[in-house]
Amino acid sequence: MIHYLQGLLFGIAYIAPIGLQNLFVINTALAQPRRRALKVAVIVTFFDISLALATFYGVGRLLTWLPWLKLVVLGVGSLIVLYIGVSLLRAQAPELKKSSTQPFSYWRAIMAAFAIAWLNPQALLDGTLLLGAFRASLAPLAADFFIGGVMTASAIWFSGLTLLISWLRDRFTTKFLLLLNRICGGVIILYAWKLVSEFVQLIW
């Protein structure tokens, strides 16, 4: 259970920072009716989870075959995690759109959600290094619980974010985004130090 909770906490900290996925969800919630926005959140969640599973287990197999790769991924991944955490602490609030000038299309929403997750080189790189690094530090059963927590975090976050923005649409400000980035940056930096300690233990 502790690994599931770790995965849940990491998943929230990993997903919550305001990037392309969250901006897409937020802007949809600001511009579309709540029911429609929730359907879009489900679409985004699907692609986010599928990417997480692919990067987590795909890299995990390679790590079991190539011990040296485990060391590389853990070392590089810890630096990437630390960089992301520091970047979040220094990030500025993004621009939001409170109206839509284009007619809504579920097909367009699906294509956008897919592209943001699977065709985003930064998302692929971060997912591979971040989740791969944690896969390298966990036993098989613990890894299953951990990724289960990550998937749960994805479902909770995107649906919860959509409901929050829909309810607070008229009072929503970018200050919330800044506060969110600061909190998540701190949590991710703590995870980075955990990965660094795992890396040091493997070397010594």
Q: What is the pLDDT of residues 104-119, one digit of tens each?
A: 788 988 988 888 788 7
Residue ranges making up the domain that contains 27: 2-203
Angstrom distance (rounded) from CA 132 to CA 120: 17
- pTM for this structure? 0.72
On whether the CB atoms of residues 78 and 133 are closer than 8 A, the answer is: yes
Model confidence pLDDT, tens digit, residues 32-71 = 889 999 999 999 999 999 999 988 887 656 666 777 777 7
Model confidence pLDDT, tens digit, residues 126-140 = 777 778 778 877 888
Angstrom distance (rounded) from CA 195 to CA 76: 10
Tell me what the mean pLDDT of segment 71-78 comes to: 76
Query: How many domains does the chain divide into?
Result: 1
